[in-house]
Amino acid sequence: MQGKGVIKFFAILLAVVCIYQLSFTWVAQKVESDAKAYAKGNAEKEKAYLDSMSTQPVYPIFKHTYAFVLQRELALGLDLKGGMNVTMQIQLDELVRKIANDNPDATFNQALANADKLQANAKTSQKDYIALFVSEYEKLNPDGKLAAIFSTKDNQDHLKFNATNSEVEAYLRDLASTAVKQSFTVLNTRINQFGVTQPNIQLEASSNRILIELPGVKEPDRVRKLLSGTAKLEFYQTFDNSEAYQTIIAIDNLLGAKNKTIAKTDTTKTTATAAAKTDTAKKAGSLLSKVQKSAEKDTSASALAGKSQLAAQHPLLSVMSLNLYPGQNGQQQLGSGPVVGYALLKDTAKVNSYLHSKLAQSAIPRNMKFLWDVKPMKDAKQKAFALYAIKLSGAENGPVLSGSVITDARADVNQKGSPEVVMIMNSEGAQKWRAVTAEAAAATNKRAIAIVLDDNVYSAPNVQNEISGGVSSIEGSFTQEDTRDLANVLKAGRLPAPAHIVSEDVVGPSLGKQAIAASLLSCVLGLVVVLVFMIAYYNRAGTVAVVAVIINIFFLMGVLTSLGAVLTVPGVAGIVLTLGIAVDANVLVYERVREELALGKSLKIAVADGFKHALPSILDSQISTFLTGLILFIFGSGPIQGFATTLMIGIITSLFCSLLISRVIFEWMLEKGWDIKFSNPWSSHTFKNANYAFVKNRFKFYIFSGTFIIAGIISIFVRGFSYGVDFEGGRNFIITFPNKNITTEQIHSVVDPSLLGRGTEVKTVNADKISITTNYLIQQNTPAVDVQVRKTLIEALATKPETKISDSDIQGQSKVSATIAEELKTSAVYTVLIAILVISAYIFIRFRKWQFSLGAMVATAHDALLVLSFFSLFNGILPFSLDIDQAFIAAILTVIGYSINDTVVVFDRIREFLDHKSKDEQTEDVINRAINSTLSRTIITALTVIFVLIVLFIFGGDVIKGFSFALLIGVIFGTYSSICVATPVIVDFGKKDLK
């Protein structure tokens, strides 16, 4: 084998990187464990401890702070960690009214009201809002002209008075699209500044909703205030650094003097001392810069003591670097522009506390304030933000201009080919802008105008000349993405499409702590069972597979962590499928090696030929599955993307471990002269002479599958499914339980039987509150039924003393909308269909026969329909929940991925046998022989995955029983279809062509 040195080097390098990435999780958990031990159950003390550790180095080797480590740990989703889930609706009706200058036309306003109702309907929520509005307007007024309403003074450059309704619709849709993207940009920025580890924010463009998941967040009031505030765009004049510098030094000296003489010196004397020291500010700044650099490099006890003393003497400047640069004489010089200094992300809160203190406010001029840049510096090694000196104007000390004067903004490219932003103002704004820019350009040092949104500086370009006409060009060190973001920000005033919170939920892990622990334990047990089986079946070669699988899981988790991926239940499903794929590749190789050994080849040659001949099958199956994951990632959303991410990464790591790491291990064992065996006596002849008549009995398989699917379809139309709350909606109850130690599993055990055991979600809200959401009697939407469901819930909880509550313990009751789930379901269906088509196209290109594509397509659809039929037919019969929810979607996707992988391997062996078919042989016989020859690999691979799923089903807890059961029957059906459905389709549709 060539390139062993390169493979070893890359494997070691990848292992080191993965260890480093995973170490952040270990360190973060150690700090959180210490916090729990310190707090002894007191949530406030635990939070205070973690806050105090935020800026402290907790990773001694690299001196990383807790905040730094926390941002890089393995992120868990809401279902595994808990947090806050917020849905925000972008109000396009308000945008349309604003564009029409609040036109009082009755037909116009009635059309908007009708469009709102239609979009709120789950069945029509996929339709475009603007299209709904225009359609309703034309229904109400068939001869009406929308141009008469929208061709206002501000819109006249884009929309003529005689424009057709179609042109108006296109114009409105363009503005609506921009407004939605602008709202998304603003909310995304706000969330990132909130400091949440791995937030998940998704734009559902069809419904103009933004779905936000904030894992680990337990401060709903702060989040609510942060997200629901109206975007405020403003333009401010700025101070030059040379003017604001003295204020920063004065504040620092005031704070330092307070530390020295807090008991002796009054405020007046301190201010006088600060003024006296202003003349030596540059020297102090220079000295401080040198001390800071020295302290950063020297970690000796004396250096640390000096750093502590420096922080006491210069509190502000110990956490903030001044805007200085080395001059020609070696002395520190003041940098030009409105930036007065820089601070690391972890220190910005400390700087704010100093600047907002009463002592600092006494030194800051009345017309000055300080604002941070919205993005970190591009060239900084760590996240460092610039601090701007903003000049307040007018009697109210506000901006010189508001964002409402902006009529348009667009990303563009200047004559030099550099990205820029073109900003256009209305006549009122243009007049004011001319005066402001004239003043800024006339200054000795050209002044900057700060563009501020939500009190964050998005850009502060220098003004070179007076700008008249209201058209401005903003240039800087922008990327094209930067200019697009800035253009969207500038439209915040022109396009006021506010985003309102329509639903929010602060939850504990939706699976419950016990269920999560049980699931993780069952996964470990399942993995152990698989590894033991591999050793028992393949002897010493099985140990190589064990090592490869363990390395693969290690690499997979390391890569997931380094990419910042969020691990959820669908992600766990992806890991389960990855485990099957990893074992599958080893099984393919081992079965080929056994075949080569049976031909009398030496061990060394048999191993080399086994890897060589198994390679096409492995690559075809893995590429097919990878394409499935890629399609799911591109077109899917939410849990679908989480599953796809894990699957794609898992395929890459599986290929590396199964083909390269395993091969290197085998080469090393052969060099050492080890006797490598690929079977034990009991397994050496398993399926060796198999000769089952799969092709001959294909019509029996057709009848079985057809009967099952037809029965399932009938059941789907007659009985339907048991939908989870996220698909059907439900009633939510927030309950304070007298028993503070109650678990979600205990609640499930008493409420599920009374609420028909279907569609019930139980989540921890905080230490003493539980959220119970049920779709029991959800189709009956009357006040009487609301009372009945409440009464049924209380009676169910009263069946056991530990869960008993009174009516007064229910703190809140509300209805939960299912609109989001409807969109997710539609997205999943379309995504799966696209994936099937793409995979079919790949198989057609790879196998050059359309019959193979058809067989794969039929088998994949067959498996999905069988699982759906099973869940409908046996719903309410089996003693556990068979709900259709987001976890079920992940299970279906796993089944499809596994089925495609399995089918392609069988197809590959059929193609190989057909290529060597003699003239006398019948095509059906050759295909049947090919299926039997790969039967050992098919069954062994299926068994390894089934072992994991059986353990998960038995020991994983009641909450995920339906999920693990869907995977279990899906893998069984997938194995069955690869042999008994996909291949017969090839036979029946390709009799002439294959001959």
Give the pLDDT band of residue 817 (cuts 50, 70, 90).
low
- The CA distances from residue 156 to 28, 161, 487, 869, in Å, are 57, 8, 20, 57
Q: What is the Cα–Cα distance from 564 to 560, expressed in whole angstroms?
A: 6
Q: What angle do CA 601, 581, 987 make, to 5 degrees?
A: 75
- The CA distances from residue 975 to 696, 782, 943, 970, in Å, are 18, 47, 10, 9
Residue 420: other Cβ atoms inside 10 A: 22
Q: For the purposes of burial, counting CB atoms within 10 Å of the CB of 642, is it exposed (0-12), middle (13-18) or buried (19 or more)? A: buried
Do 421 and 483 contact (CB within 8 A), yes or no?
yes
**Which residues have C-beta within 8 Å of that of residue 441, sequence separation ≥ 6?**
447, 463, 464, 465, 466
Query: Residue 496: which of 88, 86, 92 has the closest Cα?
Result: 92
Start-to-end C-alpha separation, the chain: 38
Q: What is the Cα–Cα distance from 900 to 622, expressed in whole angstroms?
A: 9
| Chain mean pLDDT for the chain | 77
pLDDT of 981 > 80? The answer is yes
pLDDT tens-digit readout, 698-750: 899 999 999 999 999 999 888 887 776 666 667 778 788 877 777 777 787 78
Do 794 and 719 contact (CB within 8 A), yes or no?
no
Residue 812: other Cβ atoms inside 10 A: 11
Query: Can you tell me the mean pLDDT for 399-413?
Result: 83
Query: Can you tell me the mean pLDDT for 535-560?
Result: 88
Query: Can you tell me the mean pLDDT for 59-70?
Result: 79
Fill in the DSSP letter of residue 677.
Answer: -
Tokens of 408: 């348009």
Q: Which of the two residues, 246 and 918, has the higher pLDDT score?
A: 246
**813 SS3 class:** strand
117-126: list long-range contacts, CB under 8 Å, 24+ apart.
Answer: 119/207, 119/208, 120/819, 122/818, 122/819, 122/822, 123/822, 125/206, 125/207, 125/819, 125/822, 125/823, 126/206, 126/207, 126/823, 126/826
**Which residues have C-beta within 8 Å of that of residue 848, sequence separation ≥ 6?**
none
Per-residue model confidence (pLDDT) at position 369: 92
Q: Which of the two residues, 901 and 973, has the higher pLDDT score?
A: 973
Give the pLDDT band of residue 57 (cuts 50, 70, 90).
confident
Tokens of 445: 């040092």
- The CA distances from residue 631 to 574, 635, 893, in Å, are 15, 6, 11
Query: Residue 892: which of 949, 965, 943, 819 has the closest Cα?
Result: 965
Give the pLDDT band of residue 905 (cuts 50, 70, 90).
confident
Residue 307: other Cβ atoms inside 10 A: 18
Among 616-620, 631-635, 705-709, 771-775, the range of highest mean pLDDT: 705-709
The amino acid that residue 16 corresponds to is V
pLDDT of 387 > 90? The answer is yes
Fill in the DSSP letter of residue 674.
Answer: -
Q: What angle do CA 524, 527, 529 make, to 5 degrees?
A: 110
pTM flag (> 0.95): no
Q: What is the Cα–Cα distance from 770 to 763, expressed in whole angstroms?
A: 6
Q: Which residue has the tokens 């766990």?
A: 572
H-helix or E-strand containing 20? helix 4-39
Tokens of 862: 């067959």
Q: Which of the two residues, 973 and 838, has the higher pLDDT score?
A: 973
H-helix or E-strand containing 566? strand 566-567
pLDDT of 173 > 80? The answer is yes
Give the pLDDT band of residue 454 (cuts 50, 70, 90).
confident
Query: Can you tell me the mean pLDDT for 794-815?
Result: 80
Fill in the DSSP letter of residue 336.
Answer: P
**697 SS3 class:** coil
Query: Residue 911: which of 896, 894, 923 has the closest Cα?
Result: 923
Q: Which of the two residues, 90 and 369, has the higher pLDDT score?
A: 369
The residues pairing with 450 across neighbouring beta strands, listed in sequence order, are 236
Do 374 and 384 contact (CB within 8 A), yes or no?
no
Query: Can you tell me the mean pLDDT for 880-908?
Result: 76
Q: What is the Cα–Cα distance from 660 to 893, expressed in whole angstroms?
A: 28
pLDDT tens-digit readout, 309-361: 667 788 888 888 888 888 777 778 888 889 999 988 778 888 888 888 888 88
Q: What angle do CA 698, 701, 702 make, to 5 degrees?
A: 90
- Angle subtended by helix axes 961-980 and 935-955, to nearest 10: 170
Give the pLDDT band of residue 390 (cuts 50, 70, 90).
very high
Q: β-strand 883-884 against 722-723: which pairing, if any?
A: parallel
**Which residues have C-beta within 8 Å of that of residue 389, sequence separation ≥ 6?**
238, 239, 240, 241, 243, 244, 247, 338, 339, 340, 368, 370
Do 886 and 724 contact (CB within 8 A), yes or no?
yes
Q: What is the Cα–Cα distance from 647 to 627, expressed in whole angstroms?
A: 10
Do 355 and 370 contact (CB within 8 A), yes or no?
yes
Query: Can you tell me the mean pLDDT for 269-291?
Result: 41
Query: Can you tell me the mean pLDDT for 876-902?
Result: 74
What DSSP string describes 907-952? Answer: HHHHHHHHHT--TTS-HHHHHHHHHHHTHHHHHHHHHHHHHHHHHH
Tokens of 127: 């339709």
- The CA distances from residue 659 to 533, 646, 679, 944, in Å, are 21, 20, 20, 19
pLDDT of 375 > 70? The answer is yes
Per-residue model confidence (pLDDT) at position 274: 39
- The CA distances from residue 789 to 574, 683, 792, 816, 881, in Å, are 37, 57, 5, 14, 20
pLDDT of 860 > 80? The answer is yes
Half-sphere exposure of 771 (CA within 13 A, CB side): 24
Fill in the DSSP letter of residue 809.
Answer: G
3-state helix, strand, coil in the chain (%, to 5): 60, 15, 25
Residue 516: other Cβ atoms inside 10 A: 21
Q: β-strand 384-391 against 368-372: which pairing, if any?
A: antiparallel
pLDDT tens-digit readout, 622-653: 887 788 778 777 776 555 677 778 888 888 88
Query: Can you tell me the mean pLDDT for 875-895?
Result: 73
Per-residue model confidence (pLDDT) at position 573: 66
Q: For the purposes of burial, counting CB atoms within 10 Å of the CB of 170, is it exposed (0-12), middle (13-18) or buried (19 or more)? A: middle
pLDDT of 939 > 80? The answer is yes
Do 592 and 614 contact (CB within 8 A), yes or no?
yes
**Percent of the chain residues past pLDDT 90, beyond the cut:** 3
pLDDT tens-digit readout, 566-585: 777 667 767 776 777 778 78
Do 537 and 107 contact (CB within 8 A), yes or no?
no
Question: b/e for 248-283, b at 16 or more Cβ within 10 A?
Answer: bbbbbbbbbbeeeeeeeeeeeebbebbeebeeebbe
Query: Can you tell me the mean pLDDT for 824-828?
Result: 65
- Angle subtended by helix axes 603-635 and 639-655, to nearest 10: 160
The residues pairing with 90 across neighbouring beta strands, listed in sequence order, are 499
**772 SS3 class:** strand
Query: Can you tell me the mean pLDDT for 909-927?
Result: 80
**Percent of the chain residues past pLDDT 70, beyond the cut:** 78
